[in-house]
Amino acid sequence: ERTGWRVVFGPVRARDIPAYLANHYKKTDEMRKVRFALAERLEMAVMWAVPISIVPLAPLLIWWSWLVLPFLAAVWGIALFTFGAFPWLPVGATGGKGARAEGRDRLRWARYLIVFDPRLRASLTVLLLFLGGLAAYVWFVGEGEWISLAGWGLAGLAISLLIGLDLTGSTPIYKSGLHDERLLTVRLLEDRCTGKAICEQICPKGRFRVDSKLHRAVIDDDDGCVQCGACVVQCPEDALVFA
């Protein structure tokens, strides 16, 4: 206000800017929402698979060359499946009444125990599918031993954990799983809200709308919050808080 500048929140994607300007600075619902398309998910899969494949490659080539191809197949298969199937994996928000009831004490230590985070169910889901595929191969083909299956199961667990450790932080939708807010949800303080509509403009999931009669924001989708915190940070009235 002191500088005389006026801030407007444009579309999420740069390619929508020409249409946004042509529409007199008005956004459609599609312009507001953040997407994580298949091509983008596959890019992230490659980003994870390449370093995981390269780091142990030298010792494998020197001492266990017969494991190179199966190892690469496991890494790339798990990475591509994890991100390719991302919309259908259980990586949604984990906040809510249950998390709030456990109190702040839990938040301080749970932040560092990501292996127990409910969002890691995505990695466990992929691991179970991986083990199921191995078991089916051993059963029907009749080659290999169950001890080998156990060994590859441990390898699959390590790969799944590496990729899924901060799976949500690898996406443009969810906040990093290392943040305390993943255990909370956004709450609207109705007595503070004056209906400035900034939350409606910036929410990546389109959860908010402004009621013209009540002159305040309304949360349309209680289960759609991804705890990104954009609305909390940008609200000029501090009417949105993590709780």
Cα dihedral 181→185→190→192 (10° resolution): 0
Q: Which residue has the tokens 């928000």?
A: 93
- The pLDDT value recorded for residue 106 is 44
Beta bridge partners of 240: 188
- The pLDDT value recorded for residue 92 is 53
| pTM of model > 0.75 | no
- The pLDDT value recorded for residue 229 is 79
Residues in the chain predicted with pLDDT less than 70, given as ranges, are 1, 89-124, 127, 131, 133-149, 165-166, 168, 174-183, 221-224
Nearest to 220 by CA among 235, 205, 237: 205
CA distance 218 to 212: 10
C-alpha distances (whole Å) from 98 to each of 35, 118, 203, 220 are 28, 12, 24, 21
For 115, how many CA atoms within 13 A lie in the half-sphere containing its CB? 5
CA distance 96 to 79: 30
- The pLDDT value recorded for residue 109 is 44
pLDDT in tens, 1-60: 678 787 778 888 888 888 888 888 888 877 877 777 888 888 888 888 888 888 888 887
CA distance 235 to 243: 16
